[in-house]
Structure 1
Amino acid sequence: MKIVVVGGTGLIGSKLVANLRDQGHETVAASPRTGINTLTGEGLSEALDGASVVVDVSNSPSFEESAVREFFETSTRNLLAAEAKAGVGHHVALSIVGTERPPGNPYFRAKAAQEKLIEESSIPFSLVHATQFFEFVPSIADEATDGGKVRMAPVLFQPIAGDDVARAVGRVSVGEPLNGRVETAGPEQFRMDEFFREALASWDDPRDVVTDPHARYFGSELRERSLVPDDGAALGEIRYRDWR
């Protein structure tokens, strides 16, 4: 079948495109780099012609509150409209575990707005909620750094390898629409402060990790289970110690 992967040249998208092509699917890597722009609509109708499935793993170039919401809402509206015209039968979107749990940060709120548009559209859909990627661990530490100290809350944390995310999204993409969500996470659960203390030590990073129950995660305080899935999540196979 023909599958269009929006964000197909990015971290997850490039892995997903390779996996789907290996399975024999006609797969289009859609991104501004390939002349397909969901914000402007450039190249969308041509890319979606004959497509059975569209998978959106794109990401906003800016995390500023108004910019990130504008990206996901405009991109998703344009994409859903083009899919309706093309007769696409399954819309798959990658999102984040915890978007439905207040209090959310601006990025989580933008993803929740994206999901609402998908859920209210006429196109059958599946949402894949993933936990934080191993690949983003350094940037999470940098964001939490305050005066040379990395402030982390002692909440549950269950990151996942990008390869495992791509496999999970791929499985959903070739299946029947869920008209709901599925969660995926790494095979191990940690305390966030302890995880980052060990991670920074493994990098020979001199910053101290400070346990702070009020530490903010990209703008919001975390609850015990803000970032981890409910029971029944599809777990990846790659452990962080093996990945790093």
Structure 2
Amino acid sequence: MTSVQTLPVVRLTTPEFFGSVLSPWPAIAVFDCDGTLWGGDAGYGFMVWSLESGLVSRNASDWIDSRYRLYLSGDVSEEAMCGEMVQVYAGLREDELRKATAEYFHTQIEPQIFPEMRELVAQLRAAGTEIWAVSSTNNWLIEEGVRDFGISPERVLAARVRVKAGSITSELLDVPTDKGKALSLARVGVTAPDVVFGNSIHDAAMLSIAKRAYPVNATPALLQIAAEKGWPVFYPQSTLGN
């Protein structure tokens, strides 16, 4: 019986992480959001919250619930599911949804922001680094969330649909996940960012285009890739337990 070899992974302490990221100082930095800048899955959490609060119709609620069950069973792809989690809000006024995402983020997600990542972004911004946020979560929620980090909406690449006359449509414009994250960055001219941060296997393609890649709060699947590629990993203190 052949044993499986587990490759070693370099785990950085907080001082080591900051030192590695900031020297040499990066001109362009790219961050995933859910699980990287803050804990948890804000996209899924907001979907559940919005369904339970009655923000969307019963028909839409039943539809997205059935689709999510198929996603969990592997019958709906990651890209399709992320797109449908934005399309479910078709017909709503955008200002109404922005108000809802702001309420959800500041009550449910803001307490889960990793202090180390907030400080890192602050230091990068102070030095003039161009910072991008890339996420498969809806753009309204991500734009609200990264506002606290000083990242402008123009530097957010997230799952989005077309908005016409203030109303949300079901016409998908972008769903940045897996290889789509790197493609979305390429469309705005970012093809070789200095540093990239992500937490899951869906960030692997984006991490691969970086001059320096940093898995943060890495899932087991991403940890294996990090070991194979020699990427150092960092775990915020709040993810380590006692």
> What range is the shorter-chain TM-score in?
0.3 to 0.5
Query: TM-score, structure 1 length as denominator?
Result: 0.32
Larger fraction in strand: 1
